[in-house]
Amino acid sequence: MRIKLSPLAISISLALLASHAVSAAETETDSAELESITVTASADASAEGLSPKFAGGQVAEGGRAGILGTKDNLDTPFSITSYTNEFIQDRQARSVGEVLQNDPTVRVARGFGNFQESYFIRGFILNSDDIAYNGLYSLLPRQYIATELFERVEVLRGASSFLTGANPNGGGIGGAINLLPKRAPNYDLNRVTVGFDSGSQANVSADVARRFGENDEFGVRVNAAHRNGGTSVDDEESELNLFNVGLDWQGDRLRLSADMGYQNHQLDETRTNVTVSGLSDIPSAPDASDNWAQPWSYSNEKNYFGTFRAEYDLNDNVTAWAAYGMRRSDEANSLANIEITDAESGDGLMGRFDNTREDRVDTGEFGFSGNFNTGSIGHDWVVAYSYFQLEKKNAYIGEFGDGEFATNLYNPQYIDQPAFLFGNGTFSGNELDSPSLNARTKFNSFAIGDTLSFFNDQILLTLGARHQSIKVEDYAYNTSERTFYEESEITPSVGIVFKLTNQVSLYSNYIESLRQGESVDTGLGYLESLEPYVAEQYEVGLKYQTDTLGLGLAYFTTDKPRAINNNGVVEQSGEDQHQGVELTMYGMATDDVKLLGGVTWLDAEQKDTGDETFDGNRVIGVAEWQATIGAEWEIPTVAGLAVDSRVNYTGSRYADAANTLKVDDWTTVDIGARYLLQLGNQDLTLRARVNNLFDRDYWASVGGYEGQGYLVLGAPRTVTLSATMDF
């Protein structure tokens, strides 16, 4: 266990202060009755509710900074953006990835081997099963999360182990994503949406909410959705069925919330990744609508999940909370990824690969928070414990060598589903019909923090640390031979905010990201896992925010240790150093024009790798420049009409660590329109959108799994139409 003396001393001091605050807190007093007009949507069962929308309604005024709770942008030493449900609807986003296409600091990729969404944040990969739901990790569907399931998408940029705990699946070094569930508002909600996408995909969804009780203290919100049909890619089809219930109860001192959900997502003949290892050039991007997937390929995922959260005011200064969440999921697929053997001609090989998986997630947390003063110094303190367990069952069978068949990227060859040969080229693990336990991950952590305020809140100093234990058990395929490790680590954090004026804040932070050890191929027929390691981040920034417009400027540097195979001995050697500058903007440029976006410069360098071929090279899949600029114009001469546009740019990237396979940059343009009209007492909103307006053919991402340089082709021009009735 690595202990840093200064942060540890700070943590002990904070613990003593927190204990003093609890013992000295005033006895419980009666509070005013809750009136229905004061009830607000509270995704996390907190008294404060959601952060209010900022001018323009596209983002919120702040977001959740982990265990520190919801903070305004100018008051936190971290960079957070919270995208609202209003914005999600207006952009007709279907998934978390489609929401984050609007973020200039994030690029959407695809996970390894399947169709899981992945996200590059500050150049580090975060997979969709590492997303938090209301502060708890890995509760929502692992591969694809539909937008009907959440109210907001919050992006916390940078390391966050003190704030959120270590990410259970190894991501999170560059940032965290938290989704907030939907809650019943103050008014009766009856909303039905019908839509149609190019490629013949139709969709329908319903969003209904009510509040009950003498003071509207009990809320119910139900969401259901169905999508089915083809996509804009040839012969590709998908189907989604979703149902979710969100409950909340708000009393004088006690607040409760719960969510129960189901999502079934099925993909047929979905276009696969493109493997380019061993090539000397990158193949040209095919036509964006082409599909080389085999007609028998599919990927199905079914998920059941639920959460419960409670918060109770022990007195006017101390609040206790507790939460529990679970997920049960089943996956099955039959795939055939393409491996290119000749970049110029597009010739390649495919081999059938089938996989089944079952996940069982249980997680929870409880804690205390409060405030007190020592003289002129204010304290907002928090103490929290969290627990996470994932049990994963897996099985697979695939073909190499004689079991592979020829195809071509530009002229695909389609065959009937081949039978497995069970020869020298067949590889398998466990039984597909009954997958066996493959891994068990257990995390336990204890965190303590305090935000000290000086000079009437002009200076805010946040100090904290988290002690986290990680236990990982791996069970070998076929033999179930068990290997495991159990380690613990303390990750401190220090952040400071100087509020120069009511509109300008300077901030700085030091924070770490704890990650479970990587598994590396020894070349001797087995994998070897390293001990957990820590990535360190330093960040300084400037925030400017008026009543209508916000700007952010941040410089950061993050060092992540690397793992290598040194003649069969797995060890840590060298690091990936990511340093960058982020410029973000949001709000209203004029009374009629909304802005959202920014620019990111990122230098992601491999250092001291032990191989001169790699030293100084860029990290796979990370562009030096990327930008997203979005604007919306509410046309003043036509009531209810708004038009918008978005430009996305991603610079060139490399598909290999040696930086010999350079992938071209790309730019896409998207446009949309929205028209709101009243039909009697009902509101009807018509929306139209065209993504990739000029039908650009491009490699949208390079790798969505660390160390892998496979390519994902960008979607073709896609038209989306929808009508929403509120009644």
Instruction: Look at 450 and 8; give whichever has higher pLDDT.
Output: 450
Mean pLDDT score of the chain, rounded to an integer? Answer: 91
pLDDT of residue 611: 79
For residue 540, what are its two tokens?
Answer: 């300084």
Residue 326 structural domain: 5-42+183-726
137 occurs within a structural domain: no
What span, in angstroms and rounded, lies between the C-alpha atoms of 183 and 222? 9
What span, in angstroms and rounded, lies between the C-alpha atoms of 242 and 257? 20
677 occurs within a structural domain: yes
- State the pLDDT confidence band at 334, using cuts at 50, 70 and 90: very high
For residue 450, what are its two tokens?
Answer: 């305090």
136 occurs within a structural domain: no
Say if residues 350 and 407 touch (Cβ distance below 8 Å): yes
pLDDT at 610 over 90: no
Helix (H) or strand (E) holding 321: strand 318-335
82 occurs within a structural domain: no
Q: What is the DSSP letter of 413?
A: -
419 occurs within a structural domain: yes
25-34, 163-172, 537-546, 587-596: range with lowest mean pLDDT: 25-34
177 occurs within a structural domain: no
What span, in angstroms and rounded, lies between the C-alpha atoms of 389 and 326? 10
42-56, 63-77, 605-619, 674-688: range with lowest mean pLDDT: 42-56
What span, in angstroms and rounded, lies between the C-alpha atoms of 94 and 205? 12
- State the pLDDT confidence band at 704, using cuts at 50, 70 and 90: confident
Question: pLDDT tens-digit profile of 211-256?
Answer: 999 999 999 999 999 999 999 999 999 999 999 999 999 999 999 9
CA angle at 681 for the pair 675 and 687, rounded to the nearest 5°: 20
CA angle at 40 for the pair 34 and 46, rounded to the nearest 5°: 85
Q: Could you count the other beta carbons within 10 Å of the beta carbon of residue 713?
A: 24
Helix (H) or strand (E) holding 391: strand 377-399
Count of structural domains, the chain: 1
- State the pLDDT confidence band at 612, using cuts at 50, 70 and 90: confident
For residue 495, what are its two tokens?
Answer: 């952040």
pLDDT above 70: percentage of residues in the chain: 91
Say if residues 122 and 626 touch (Cβ distance below 8 Å): no
109 occurs within a structural domain: no
What span, in angstroms and rounded, lies between the C-alpha atoms of 426 and 177? 38
133 occurs within a structural domain: no
- State the pLDDT confidence band at 565, using cuts at 50, 70 and 90: low
CATH code (residue 413): 2.40.170.20
pLDDT of residue 721: 98
* Statement: the pTM of the whole predicted model exceeds 0.75: yes
In this prediction, residues 329-355 reach a mean pLDDT of 96
pLDDT of residue 35: 37
pLDDT at 112 over 80: no
pLDDT at 324 over 90: yes
For residue 104, what are its two tokens?
Answer: 């200039």
- State the pLDDT confidence band at 442, using cuts at 50, 70 and 90: very high
